[in-house]
A = this chain, B = another copy of it.
Amino acid sequence: MRKSIATVCLSGGLVEKLHACAAAGFDGVEIFEPDLVAGESSPEEIRALAARLGLSIDLYQPLRDIEGVEESQFADNLRRAEAKFALMKRLGADTVLVCSNVATATVDSDEVSAAQLRALGDLAGRYGVRIAFEALAWGRYVDDYRRAWRIVRLADHPRVGLCLDSFHILSRGHDSAQIASIPAEKIFFLQLADAPALSMDVLSWSRHHRLFPGEGSFDLVTFLTHVLRTGYAGPLSLEVFNDTFRQTDTRRTATHALRSLAWLEDQAARRLGTGAAEFLTEAKAPTGFDFVEIRAEDTDGIEVMLGQLGFSFRGVHRSRPARLWTSGTARIVLDEHNARDTEPLLTAVGLDVPDPLSSAARAHQLMAPPVHRRTYASGPGVRAVAAPEGTEIHLCAEGASWAGEFTGGATTEPIPASTPGPGPAAVTHVDHVNLAPSWADFDESVLFYTTVLDLDAAPRTEVPSPHGLVRSQVMHTPDGAVRLPLNMAPSGAATGCGRAGLPQHIAFACPDVTGLARAARDRGLRLLPVPANYYDDLAARFGLAAQDIARLRESNVLYDRDAHGHFLHFYTRTTGTVFLEFVQRVDGYAGFGADNAPIRLAAQSLTSRL
């Protein structure tokens, strides 16, 4: 279907917005009136620019406070509307959004509203314009699409129809199933927006916190299927008021927006079983971590640390200054290529996917920027894309043997005496990788991981740090084989630690973290210190035995418990913008030690930059 977006979704001026929408691949736009009014281009120029860019102007919006008024007021409203119809003719827009009256309504009558819309429709007809009437969730009298539909039916005018907006319907909890009974030809326009579950007045919620489809908690797939069942064939159009998207890069946000719409359309079409030929390629979710890469001008410090933590050196890459270290299935690539002046930085995550070709095709269809590499090939050519926060995500075939590209290490040799054997204290696999999108990237990262990689998004949480609240949201597969917590630094914090403002980390699973911590310490590793007060509090909170507390304390190991089981973990200090975590999940503990995150953040603040 044709895809459109309201210019109010984006930052910048109107000309910049039109260029960005066209570059992203939208078919049309809704022009938000203040964008036109504040811009220097004439309506004729905008019309010509849109035409050259291949964008239709699908809607001009909004006309406010038109109906439900006394006759004298309505006469003035008609005068105002006529000026806008004349403008629309210059602009080449044929549909106008008329919102239900918020400010000036004094007549609570379907009949009066219908008669006034009918008069408006007569006037609009003279300019070739049609009226899409929308019930705002906070309209004074008309705040429900079902009432708006009664009024449109009463108006009974070919130029008067409905605009449906998912936010106004779903925010009020109105049943969208009844949309299916509206004739498609009376649905003049469809606006789509998601939103997080928030308890606040609906106006503030709408004006500041809308999200693109797939990023919030509305069931937009069901909503859209109800609309499509009517036979609606107009554009799918985004109208997302969001304080962050008003500030982010115009072109990037336009692409981000179109990705959300492509995903939503696909989901709804699959549900309806229509348009199979145009479906996005299905790609099964990743099944595990293949490798994680850290880049630095000098990776020696990390190699010493990995040795102390029982990892084995597996060799140097044949053609690139990169070195491989492993423990169990965990593979860490340390890359010094193209890393001048780079402090250690988490640059790439390899994920095992059942079918890399399908995953790459889907990523491409969803506009993920491809990344080109000459190495770590997992089959013919490299399949990697850049996630919004900057991580390179490599789509690896399970069991691919790229490790053979690394030579000279311990792969086929006995493990040196200075590293522990594959005993109980050895790392078995990567448990999770913690990424740190900036405030500008966060929502887009959530959408990327859910739509491109089919991960689930856990609810958002917040963690206090000495420098403000850190927003956190975990992306994961249902079985937990891949877990990617996203952490966002406080927006105003003086950052300066890597591109993302917060350090990132790799968490390794280990069946005996206390033993590993002790062994690493004995080999000279300085762990992230944990304050004694933490252990006193642990004793009070969980009633652990004194000797258990002593054992944790001696190893700087943190503890948590959930409904299933318990959790032990410790951290290295930060080097560059990377640190490592070692975790032990007992009896199906499913969390990440969130209650311990403030302890970690405070300790990091004391021992390094945040």
Contacts and interface: CB of A to CB of B under 8 A. Distances in A.
A439 interface: yes
B468 A243 contact: yes
B605 A13 contact: yes
Q: Which of A34, A40, A83 has the most CB of B within 10 A?
A: A40
A598 B38 contact: yes
Interface stretch (A196-204, A300-308, A503-511): A196-204
A76 B540 CA distance: 10
Contacts of A248: 492
B464 A537 contact: no
A302 to B, nearest CB: 26
A246 B184 CA distance: 52
Contacts of A76: 543
Interface string A62-80: 0000000000000010011
A431 to B, nearest CB: 23
B247 A13 contact: no
Contact of A34 (B12, B41, B243, B464): B464
Interface in A555-610: 598-599, 601-603, 605-606
A540 to B, nearest CB: 3
A469 B241 CA distance: 11
Given A540-B80, A599-B37, A606-B13, A243 B204 contact: no
Chain A interface size, as a band, is 35 or more
Contacts of A440: 492
A340 interface: no
Interface string A478-496: 0000000000001111000
A402 interface: no
Interface in A396-449: 439-440
A529 interface: yes
Contacts of A201: 199-200
Given A492-B247, A531-B39, A598-B34, A13 B466 contact: yes
Which of the listed residues A11, A80, A466 has the most CB atoms from chain B within 10 Å of its own CB?
A466
Interface of A: 11-13, 33-34, 36-43, 76, 79-80, 83-84, 87, 198-201, 204, 208, 243-244, 246-248, 439-440, 464, 466-469, 490-493, 529, 531-534, 536-537, 539-541, 543, 598-599, 601-603, 605-606
Lowest 5 A-B CB distances belong to which pairs?
A83-B540, A199-B201, A200-B200, A38-B602, A247-B468
